Amino acid sequence: MPSHNSLLLIYFVAFFLLAFVLRSGIVYRHTGINPLVLPNTSDAYGYLGMAFKVLMLACASVLIALATCTDAPQWLGSITPLERPALKWVGWFGLLASLLWMLIAQAHMGASWRIGIDSANRTALVTRGLFSISRNPIFLSTRLALLGFFLVAPSGATLAILAAGEIVIQVQVRLEEHHLSGLHGASYQDYCSQVPRWL
């Protein structure tokens, strides 16, 4: 049976293909619009776009190291007290729940799904499905995935990725809320008053 570390790499490849590549293809096929809108600008949007790419690269590097090098946990700063089977299973539950939650939320979002803030194309305000209980179910899923990653492979590196991911997500959410408020006005404000940011 593959090790936890090999399974982690397989999981994240599947997560990337299903949640980013497949969904991007579906949105592009239905709308003709590229849903990947991470600008290379010097403003806050561009900075967060760069931070997101660096975070993805860091995740990929750690995952590949864990799956291919037996000494990787040591030089990634393994947190030995957290190396417990029960915590690993909690982490795996979080990872699998995160992927399922992500795919459902993306389906509910439909053609409005984007990676980043799309200033060029008006998107509909989605309030149904998971968006009726959380304003940011996709980001909530990402937070859960990063926490699951840390619990399955607790180390200084995965803790740093968890912390950096949390900062990037919290800032991105607030920028998106500002964008949506300008785009949808009172409708979005009413939505915010009825549905929490997370849960």
Residue 58 token pair: 């860091």
pTM over 0.75: yes
Residue pLDDT, tens place only, 35-88: 988 888 888 888 888 999 999 999 999 999 999 998 998 999 999 999 999 999
The overall average pLDDT reported for the chain is 93
Which of left, alpha, beta for 80 (phi over 0: left; psi -120 to 50: alpha)? Answer: alpha
Residue-wise pLDDT tens digits, 158-186 = 999 999 999 999 999 999 999 999 999 99
Alpha helices in the chain (DSSP H): 4-16, 23-31, 44-68, 72-75, 85-109, 137-152, 156-184, 186-194
Residue ranges and CATH numbers for the domains of the chain are: 4-194 (1.20.120.1630)
